[in-house]
Amino acid sequence: MANIDTRKWLKSHHDTLFPFFPYLKKRSIEWLFDKLREKGGEKGALYIHIPFCTGRCTFCILTKELPTGNTLKYVDTILDEAREWRDYFSSIQTIYVGGGTPTSLSSEELKLLFAGLRDTFNIDNDAELSVETTASELTEDNMNLLLELGVNRLSVGVQTFNLCLRKMLGRRGGGKEVVKKLNRAREMFPLLTIDILYDLPRQELRDVIADLQKAVGIGVDGISLYPLIYAPQTAIAKQFEQPPIETAIDSFENAKSFLEDAGYNHVNINHFSNGRDKFRYSTYFNSLGNILGFGAGATGFLADCFMKHKSTSEQYIMNNVGNVFSVPKTIIPVLWCVSQLQYGIVDVKESKRRWGFDPLEAFAKTIEKSVDRGELIIGKNEIELTSEGMFWANTIGTEMAMEYLYKGKGELESLEEKTSKIAKNEIYTQ
């Protein structure tokens, strides 16, 4: 593989968005409401961020905080915000409640949240309702409550079953206990998915495969397999060096083969499914569908605009109106192509039909280099990533964006760099 020492491996889909930020234009919320009134109600997805969490994980990059006395007020604020948007959606097809750890809300608060959302929006009968939680909170009571609320897809952050690695990550409980809880969750929920990490310090290939073997043994429907992002602010990044990239490539390729042999499809760069788990929320996200984000730090995308909320519960309670940033029409197809790469395929015909935009022409140099490296295959109507390409998908997508937006000049930025570089991008700081 050429130039792996010098080429930046971007691990997060957030990294692919950085080149777009200088092009965004700040707008008022009224400007967006006017635009939506013209469009009329459309179907969409909701993301609800619950930042509260009592965990002390050494690696966590999510917007999170210890619960204080304001959790009820926080839920009320989310519902107040939701009511402002009710007229702009015809129906809701999927809701993703993420965190933090959403189950750190009390049962009354969770009931209030779900009842409020149902009162406000027309939620499809077969909507996918996902809630994230962590193994230490997988109690019988919590699981019964989630089922009662209509949650049909439970997403559990496992990270690893390996005791030494769990300690390093600051995770609570041992692997055996986690397996036991997941087996019970498997019996209770229609869809069960888990998050597993690779590229951890001192983690060997056999550790990654052992984790996946356990997941397959439990019969989970979906596995999100993320490489650890060594964000500079995390304890783990301060203590450990990243393993060499060859180790990560090896883990990714072997994990992919292992899961495919076990009957799972590689549905997007970080997600494998046994066919039952549709992960509808991520499909919305990667196809620039209508997503409304509520809560601290939540982002949304609607009518060619990103929306971003302030990042703490206190700030959100004080002001629940998100910042709005419009994406110029001319670069929407670029954003779409980069997002589609998450699935490993860009439909050239669809891009031409929708926008008269030819990705083969717009990204000609990046495509030529990636084809030479064996990362891309050009079909009759599509650009398709190979297994190697899936590993590099975020990097390739960002290279494409840089080629079109900056004629290939400038550096790729990532969440693994000093935040000062990224902080210049106001969408992350406001």
Ligand X SMILES: C[S@@+](CC[C@H](N)C(=O)[O-])C[C@H]1O[C@@H](n2cnc3c(N)ncnc32)[C@H](O)[C@@H]1O
| Interface with ligand X, residue 98, by CB under 6 A | yes
For the CB of residue 61, give the shortest distance to ligand SF4 in the complex, in Å: 8
Residue of 231, 235, 317, 405 that binds ligand X (CB under 6 A): 231
Q: Could you tell me the smallest distance in angstroms from the CB atom of residue 196 to ligand X?
A: 7
Choose the contact partner of 412 out of ligand SF4, ligand X, none; CB within 5 to 8 A by kind.
Answer: none
Of 93, 109, 23, nearest to 326 by C-alpha is 23
Q: Tell me which of ligand X, ligand SF4, none is bound by residue 61, counting a contact when its beta carbon lies within the kind-specific cut-off of 5 to 8 angstroms.
A: ligand X
Contact pick of 197, 212, 385, 401 for ligand X (by CB under 6 A): 197
Q: Closest-CB residue for ligand X?
A: 157
195 counts as binding ligand X under rule CB under 6 A: yes
Give me the 11-50 binding string for ligand X, x by CB under 6 A, dash otherwise.
----------------------------------------
Contacts with 280 (C-beta within 8 Å, 6 or more apart), sequence order: 45, 93, 94, 128
Q: How far apart are CA 116 and CA 266, in angstroms?
A: 35
Q: Which partner from the list ligand X, ligand SF4, none does 24 bind, CB cut-off 5 to 8 Å by kind?
A: none
Q: Segment contacting ligand X (CB under 6 A): 109-117, 173-181, 226-234, 327-335?
A: 226-234
Smallest distance from ligand X to CB 138, Å: 10
- Residue 422, Cα to own-chain centre: how many angstroms? 18
Give min distance, CB of 163 to ligand SF4, in A: 17
Total Cβ atoms within 10 A of residue 249: 18
Residue of closest CB approach to ligand SF4: 55
The reply to whether 199 sits near ligand X by the rule CB under 6 A is no
For ligand SF4, the closer CB: 120 or 134: 134
| The one among 16, 77, 94, 101 contacting ligand X by CB under 6 A | 101
Q: Give residues in contact with ligand SF4 (CB under 6 A).
A: 53, 55, 57, 60, 62, 64, 99-101, 134, 157
CA 62 to centroid of chain Cα atoms:
11
Convert the chain into a string of H (helix), E (strand) and C (coil).
CCCCCCCCCCCCHHHHHHHHHHHCEEECHHHHHHHHHHHCCEEEEEEEEECECCCCCCCCCCCCECCCCCHHHHHHHHHHHHHHHHHHEEEEEEEEEEECCHHHCCHHHHHHHHHHHHHHCCEEEEEEEEEEEEHHHCCHHHHHHHHHCCCCEEEEEEECCCHHHHHHHCCCCCHHHHHHHHHHHHHHCCEEEEEEEECCCCCCHHHHHHHHHHHHHHCCCEEEEEECCCCCCCHHHHHCCCCCHHHHHHHHHHHHHHHHHCCCEEEECCEEECCCCCCHHHHHHHCCCCEEEECCCCEEEECCEEEECCCCHHHHHHCCCCEEEECCHHHHHHHHHHHHHHHCEEEHHHHHHHHCCCHHHHCHHHHHHHHHCCCEEECCCEEEECHHHHHCHHHHHHHHHHHHHHCCCCCCCCCCCCHHHHHCCHHHHC
Residue 229 contact, options ligand SF4, ligand X, none, Cβ 5-8 Å cut-off depending on partner type: ligand X
Q: CB-wise, 99 or 389, nearer to ligand X?
A: 99
Choose between 181 and 373: whose C-beta lies nearer to ligand SF4: 181
- What number of chain residues touch ligand X (CB under 6 A)? 20
The binder of 15, among ligand SF4, ligand X, none, by C-beta within 5 to 8 A per type, is: none
Beta carbon nearer to ligand SF4, 60 or 82: 60
Interface segment toward ligand X; rule CB under 6 A; list 2-10, 54-62, 73-81, 160-168: 54-62
**Does residue 351 touch ligand X according to CB under 6 A?**
no
* Closer of 92 and 169 to ligand SF4 (Cβ): 169
Task: Figure out which of the listed residues 10, 24, 50, 53 binds ligand X, where binding follows CB under 6 A.
Answer: 53
Q: Which does 289 bind (CB under 5 to 8 A by kind): ligand SF4, ligand X, none?
A: none
Residues 6+ apart with CB under 8 A from 277: 153, 191, 193, 221, 222
* Residue 313 interacting partner from ligand X, ligand SF4, none (CB closer than 5 to 8 Å by kind): none
- Of 295, 282, 205, whose CA–CA distance to 251 is shortest? 205
Piece of the chain touching ligand X by CB under 6 A; list 97-105, 246-254, 271-279, 398-406: 97-105
Interacting positions 132-151 with ligand X (CB under 6 A) = 132, 134
Is 229 a residue that touches ligand X (CB under 6 A)? Answer: yes
Q: How many residues appear in the chain?
A: 430
Residue type, 416: E
- Binding footprint of ligand X on the chain (CB under 6 A): 53, 55, 59-62, 98-101, 132, 134, 157, 159, 195, 197, 226, 228-229, 231
